[in-house]
Amino acid sequence: MERPHEVLLVALIATFAVIHLSRADDQEGFISLDCGLPPSEASPYIEPDTGLWFSSDSDFIQTGKIGKIDPSLPKTIKTYVTLRYFPDGIRNCYNLSVKQGTNYLMRFTALYGNYDGLNITPKFDVYVGPNFWVTIDLENKISGQSEEIIYIPRSNSLDLCLVKTGTTTPMITSVELRPLANDLYITESGLLKSFKRYYLTSSDTILSYPDDVKDRIWEPKFDPEWMQISTNLQANNSNDFLVPQNVLKTAAIPVNHTARFNISEELDFPDDQIYLYLHFSEVQSLPIGDSREFDIFWNGQQFDKTISPEYLKTTTIYSTTPVTCKGGVCNLELIRTTNSTLPPLLNAIELYTVVKFPQLETNENDVVAIQKIKARYGLNRITWQGDPCVPQKFLWDGLNCNSTDTSTPPMITYLNLSSNGLEGTIAAAIQNFTHLEKLDLSNNNLTGEVPEFLANMKSLILINLKKNNLIGFIPQALLDREKEGLQLFVDGEHRCFSGSCDVTEKKIPVKTVAFVSSATFMVIIVVLVLIFVFKKKKKSIKLGGNVTSTNISEISIEMKKKKYNYSEVMEMTKNLARPLGEGGFGVVYHGVINGSQQVAVKLLSQSSTQGYKEFKAEVRYRRNSVYVKPMRFMYAFIVLQVELLLRVHHINLVSLVGYCEERGHLALIYEYMSNGDLKHLLSGKHGSSVLKWSTRLQIAIDAALGLEYLHIGCRPPMVHRDVKSTNILLDEGFTAKLADFGLSRSFQLGGEFHVSTAVAGTPGYLDPESYRTGRLAELSDVYSFGIVLLEIITNQDVVDQTRKKSHIAEWTTFMLNRGDINGIMDPKLHGDYNSHSAWRALELAMLCANPSSENRPNMFQVVSELKECLTSEISMKGNSQDLDSQSFPKVSMSYDTQDFPSAR
C-alpha cells in the first residue's frame, strides 16, 4: 500500500515534469547558448530565473578561450557565470543551424565582468554573416550590453562574428535566437534593430520569458505626468504579437485628463530610420456614457486613424514605412478627440531602427563545398571562419571570389591549398565550385588518381597538381581541355605519376608527342642557326679580325612589320637627341613613332663589352683553335630574343615595339615608360612625390602579375633572371611593368653590377641557392621579388655596408626580432598605412626571400596574398580612392593567352 507522502511526492514530480514539458514546447526553435560554459559541465541546463534551457556554445565555435565573470557584480536578468573571449585573430565566428526564411529575434549579450582582472572594457564590432550589425562598447556598462535584431536567414546556416577593431579583446556571454511569426515586424527594406521596448508601469519589474513566450525583453517606463491604471483580468492577446499579459494589465494616462499624452525619444544616430509599434488594451470597464477615443501623431503627422481601444482586447498599431525624426528626436502624441470623455491610454511601445544588410552571403553551394573540404582535410585555419568571400577584408586565405556585385551572391573563383599537408584523394566537393577558375593543390601528400570531374569544370583555366603522390595517367578529357587552353601543371615526364603506368603498353598522349616534337624541332633550328653563322663568310673570320654584319632576316624569322631601318631609328630619335640612360649594351634614347607613340630605343654599341664577359660562358665556340669575337653571336642571340619578346604579351611586361638591324647597327625599340623605374620613385629624388602605401602594394601586384605570367602563362615557363627595382618601370598611370625579361645579360646600371656567372643576376637580388648550385628555376625569381618587396616596404638599399646587417633581408630579420615594425616601414610614409596589411606584406616578403626555395611561395600565391593585402588596406581605411593616379585596385588574374611564346 502506498503511503500518502509518497503519493504526494509522485504527484509533485509529475506536476513539475508537466510544467517543464510545457515550457519546452514553448521554446521550440529557441537557440540559447551560454558562452564559455565547458561542455563537460551540465549542458543543457535550465536557467533558474527564467526557466530557459541553455547549452554550451562549444559545438558552434572552434576558437576562443573561457573566462569567468566576477560574481560580486550586479545581477542581470540571467545569472551569467562564464564568457568566451577571443585573443587570437581578427574575426571569430559562431556557425548556427537555423531555418531558412524564418523570422528570428536574435540577441547578443556581452558582460565584461572584469574576467581578466585588468578592468579594461572591450570595444569591438559584431557582424551577421558578411554584414556589419552593431558596435559593442562596454565602457561604463557594468551590467553589460544586449543588442537585438530581427533577422530572416537566407540559408539554413547563420554566421555571427565578433571582429576586433582596436587593441581590446572581443568577448561574449550569450547568444539567443527566438523564432517569430513570419508576418510580423516587416520592413520595406533592411532589418529591424531593437531601439526601445517598454511597457508603461510604475513597477520596476523587467519582463521576459516566460511572461513573454517569444522572450522579448520589456523594460518598465513611467513619468510623473502620467497616472497608472490597471486590471487583474486577463486580456485577449491573440493578435499574433502575443504581448505579455502583465504588459496588457497596466496602462498609463496623463494626470491632467485634458492634456496630451507625450513621449519623446532621442536617437543614438539622428539619421536613423524608425519603425513604431504601439500596443493598446482598455483596462477599465467604462460606464455607460463614457468613452476613450484619441488620435495618434508621430513627429507631428497623424499616424493612424482615430482609435478607441477595446476592453481587455489587444490592438496593435504599427508603421508600414520608415520615418526619420527631425534632429534625431522622435515625438509621439496621443490627443483625445472632442467626442471622448476620457484621456488617451497606452500600454506599451516598441521602437526599431533600420539596419541595412546589402551584402549577400556567398553562394550556398560554394559554402557547403568549402566546408566539406575544410572538414575533409582538417583545415582549422583561424581565418577560415564566417562567410568565405565577404566582406573582402575577411576573405578566407587561399580564396578569391567574384564579390564586386552586392546584388548577387559571391562565388569562389580561386582555391589555393598548396603546401597545406593535404592527405588522401582529391576531394569530390571541388566539382561543386561551378565558377572556379584556378585550382592549386601543389606540394601536398595527395594520393590516388586525378579525377575526371576536373575536366567537366568548364570555368577552370588553371590546375596545379605538382609535388603530390598521385598515380595513373591524366584523364584524356583533361588533356583535351588542355589543348583548348587549360593550363595544367603536373609531375611526370609522360604525364604519368608513378610506375603504375607502363608507357610501353599504353599509347602516349598526343600532347606529349607534340611537346617532344616541338622541343626536337627547336633544337634543330638552333643548331642550324649556329651552323649557318659559322659557315657564312668563313674566310673572313680571323683571330682579332672585324665581325662581319649578320643579317637578322637570314638568321631567323620574318618580322617585317616590326622591323625598322637605321634611318628610321635616327628619325624617331631625332638623331639620338635625348638619351635616357646608359647600360652595358649601349645608350637608351627617347623616340617618337608616327608623331605620337613614345618609345625607348636601346642602341647596341659595337664597342660593348657586355658580351665579351658573359658570352664567353654562353655562346663561345671553338673552331680549329680559332676563337670568334662574340659580337656575331650576340646578334644571333638577340635575334632569338626579339622573336620571343614579340610573342610575349602581358599588361605588366614592357612591350617590344620593334627592332633594327642594318649594317651592324642593332637596336631594340620598347614602349616608353614615362615614370621611370621603381628605385628612382622610391628614392624621391628629382622632385618625385612619396609613393603611398596602397600605391606601393599595387605596384607590387603589377610586378608579381608580370612574373606570374612568365612562370605560368608562358609555355614553357620563362625565368626573368634579373628581377630588381630598376627593372620595374612605371607608365604615366603608375602601372608597373617588368623590363629586360627573358634576356640573359649583365650590365652596369646605377652602381649595381652583374657578377658573370652561369646564373645571371644582380648582387643582393640573386638567389643564394641558385648561385650555389648553378641551377635556375622560377623560385629564383621569387627570391629576387621578395627583395624588391622589402625595398618597397622599407625603402632601404638592398646592400648597405654602413648598416650592422648589410643585406636588406638580414637587416629586416634583425628588426623583426626586436618587434619593431615602425622601424622597418619606410619613414617617408609617416605611419600612413594599416598595420595589418603592412604585417602581411612583410611576412610575404620574408617568405619569398627565404634562403631555401622549398619554403618559398610560387608567384600564383604571391599575387593572391598581395591582392588580399591591398584589399585589407583599402577596406580598413574605408577609402577606395587611395591610389596615386589610380582608382580601385586592379585585381584581375587574366592572361593574354592569344599568343604564348613557344620557346625561351
DSSP string, 73-113: SPP-SS---EEEE--SSSEEEEEEE--TT-EEEEEEEE--T
| pLDDT band (50, 70, 90) for residue 761 | confident
What is the reported pTM? Answer: 0.61
538-671 carries CATH number 3.30.200.20: yes
User: Which segments are annotated as binding site for ATP?
Assistant: 602
A 10 A CB-CB count for 676 gives 15
| Tens digit of each residue's pLDDT (9 = 90 or more) over 134-188 | 999 999 898 899 999 999 999 999 999 999 999 999 999 999 999 999 999 999 9
Q: Concatenated DSSP letters for 545-590?
A: PPPPP--HHHHS---GGGEE-HHHHHHHTTTTT-EEEEETTEEEEE
pLDDT at 10 over 60: no
Which spans in 661-800 are helix H?
Answer: 678-683, 693-708, 768-773, 778-794
Between 24-33, 420-429, 790-799, 884-893, the lowest mean confidence (pLDDT) is in: 884-893
Instruction: Kindly state the cell numbers that stand for 483.
Output: 589543348
Instruction: Kindly state the cell numbers that stand for 481.
Output: 581541355
- Give, as one character, the DSSP assignment of residue 48: T
d(CA 759, CA 761): 7
d(CA 215, CA 209): 4
Cα dist from 378 to 234, 398, 421, 422, 861, whole Å: 56, 15, 10, 9, 21
| pLDDT band (50, 70, 90) for residue 510 | very low
pLDDT at 684 over 80: no
Decide: 667 and 569 in contact? Cβ < 8 Å.
Answer: yes
d(CA 256, CA 259): 5
Instruction: Kindly state the cell numbers that stand for 210.
Output: 516566460
pLDDT given for residue 879 in this prediction: 43
CATH number of 28-179: 2.60.120.430
Provide mean pLDDT across the span 602-611.
58
Provide mean pLDDT across the span 55-67.
95
Closest alpha carbon to 214 in 348, 52, 27, 21: 27
Residue ranges of the domains in the chain?
Answer: 28-179, 193-355, 364-508, 538-671, 678-877
| Tens digit of each residue's pLDDT (9 = 90 or more) over 551-593 | 444 434 444 447 889 999 999 999 999 988 776 567 889 999 9
Provide mean pLDDT across the span 102-109.
97
d(CA 436, CA 420): 19
* The amino acid at 543: L
pLDDT at 777 over 70: yes
The answer to whether 28-179 and 193-355 have equal CATH topology is: yes
d(CA 712, CA 699): 20
pLDDT at 815 over 90: no
Rounded to the nearest angstrom, the gap between the alpha carbon of residue 171 and the centroid of all alpha carbons in its chain is 24
pLDDT at 756 over 70: no
pLDDT given for residue 712 in this prediction: 82
Question: Who has greater pLDDT, 551 or 893?
Answer: 551
Instruction: State the Cα angle at 753 between 751 and 757, rounded to 5°.
Output: 175
**Strands 145-151 vs 103-110: parallel, antiparallel or unpaired:** antiparallel
A 10 A CB-CB count for 445 gives 12
* The amino acid at 192: L
- Give, as one character, the DSSP assignment of residue 823: H
| pLDDT band (50, 70, 90) for residue 643 | low
Contacts of 208 (CB under 8 A, 6+ apart): 50, 77, 215, 216, 217, 218
Mean pLDDT comparison of 435-439, 601-605, 771-775, 895-899, highest-scoring range: 435-439
Closest alpha carbon to 490 in 509, 502, 473, 515: 473
Give the 3-state secondary structure percentages of the chain, helix then strand then coil, rounded to 5.
25, 25, 50
A 10 A CB-CB count for 728 gives 27
Contacts of 644 (CB under 8 A, 6+ apart): 742, 901, 903, 904
Q: Look up cell 504599427; give the residue.
A: 318
pLDDT at 301 over 90: yes
pLDDT given for residue 667 in this prediction: 84
pLDDT given for residue 720 in this prediction: 86
d(CA 265, CA 374): 48
pLDDT at 394 over 80: yes
Decide: 85 and 170 in contact? Cβ < 8 Å.
Answer: yes
Instruction: State the Cα angle at 433 between 432 and 437, rounded to 5°.
Output: 145
Instruction: Kindly state the cell numbers that stand for 194.
Output: 531593437
pLDDT given for residue 591 in this prediction: 94
Provide mean pLDDT across the span 662-682.
86
Decide: 318 and 345 in contact? Cβ < 8 Å.
Answer: no
| pLDDT band (50, 70, 90) for residue 616 | very low
Provide mean pLDDT across the span 816-826.
81
Share of the chain above pLDDT 70, in %: 78
Phi, psi dihedrals of residue 172, rounded to the nearest 5°: -155, 145
d(CA 195, CA 562): 71
Q: Which residues pair with 583 in a beta bridge?
A: 586
pLDDT at 204 over 90: yes
pLDDT given for residue 558 in this prediction: 41
A 10 A CB-CB count for 642 gives 22
pLDDT at 620 over 50: no
User: Which segments are annotated as binding site?
Assistant: 602
* The amino acid at 453: F
pLDDT given for residue 168 in this prediction: 95
Closest alpha carbon to 226 in 252, 251, 198: 252
d(CA 49, CA 738): 69
Closest alpha carbon to 108 in 67, 162, 56, 148: 148
Superfamily of domain 364-508: Ribonuclease Inhibitor (3.80.10.10)
Decide: 284 and 231 in contact? Cβ < 8 Å.
Answer: yes
CATH topology of domain 678-877: Transferase(Phosphotransferase); domain 1 (1.10.510)
Closest alpha carbon to 385 in 374, 377, 376: 374
pLDDT at 549 over 60: no
A 10 A CB-CB count for 608 gives 17
pLDDT given for residue 43 in this prediction: 80
CATH topology of domain 193-355: Jelly Rolls (2.60.120)
pLDDT given for residue 528 in this prediction: 53
| Tens digit of each residue's pLDDT (9 = 90 or more) over 339-380 | 999 999 999 999 999 999 999 999 999 999 999 999 999 998
Rounded to the nearest angstrom, the gap between the alpha carbon of residue 568 and the centroid of all alpha carbons in its chain is 50
Tell me the CB-side half-sphere exposure of residue 769, using CA atoms within 13 A. Answer: 18
pLDDT given for residue 710 in this prediction: 86
Provide mean pLDDT across the span 498-512.
45
Decide: 316 and 243 in contact? Cβ < 8 Å.
Answer: yes
Q: Which residues pair with 147 in a beta bridge?
A: 108
pLDDT given for residue 206 in this prediction: 94
Instruction: State the Cα angle at 382 between 376 and 383, rounded to 5°.
Output: 95
Decide: 71 and 49 in contact? Cβ < 8 Å.
Answer: no
Instruction: Kindly state the cell numbers that stand for 734.
Output: 603608375
Q: What is the chain's length?
A: 904
Q: Residue 303, SS3? A: strand
Decide: 848 and 786 in contact? Cβ < 8 Å.
Answer: yes
Cis-peptide, bond into residue 44, ω within 30° of zero:
yes
Decide: 410 and 399 in contact? Cβ < 8 Å.
Answer: no
The one catalytic residue among 125, 159, 366, 722: 722
H and E: helices and strands count for the chain:
17, 42
Phi, psi dihedrals of residue 197, rounded to the nearest 5°: -145, 110
Phi, psi dihedrals of residue 95, rounded to the nearest 5°: -120, 115
| pLDDT band (50, 70, 90) for residue 634 | low
Phi, psi dihedrals of residue 441, rounded to the nearest 5°: -115, 20
Clarify whether 722 is annotated catalytic.
yes
Contacts of 377 (CB under 8 A, 6+ apart): 417, 420, 422, 423, 424, 427
Rounded to the nearest angstrom, the gap between the alpha carbon of residue 95 and the centroid of all alpha carbons in its chain is 19
Please state, rounded to an integer, the average pLDDT across all residues of the chain. 81
Closest alpha carbon to 628 in 619, 636, 637: 619
d(CA 662, CA 666): 7
Between 38-47, 284-293, 624-633, 795-804, the lowest mean confidence (pLDDT) is in: 624-633
H/E run at residue 604: strand 597-604
Q: Is 511 exposed, middle or buried (0-12, 13-18, 19+ CB in 10 A)?
A: middle
| Tens digit of each residue's pLDDT (9 = 90 or more) over 212-248 | 999 999 999 999 999 999 999 999 988 889 999 999 9
Burial profile 27-38: b = 16 or more Cβ within 10 angstroms, e = fewer:
beebbbbbbbbe
pLDDT at 493 over 70: no
pLDDT at 895 over 80: no
| pLDDT band (50, 70, 90) for residue 650 | confident
pLDDT at 824 over 80: yes
d(CA 667, CA 638): 10
pLDDT given for residue 77 in this prediction: 60
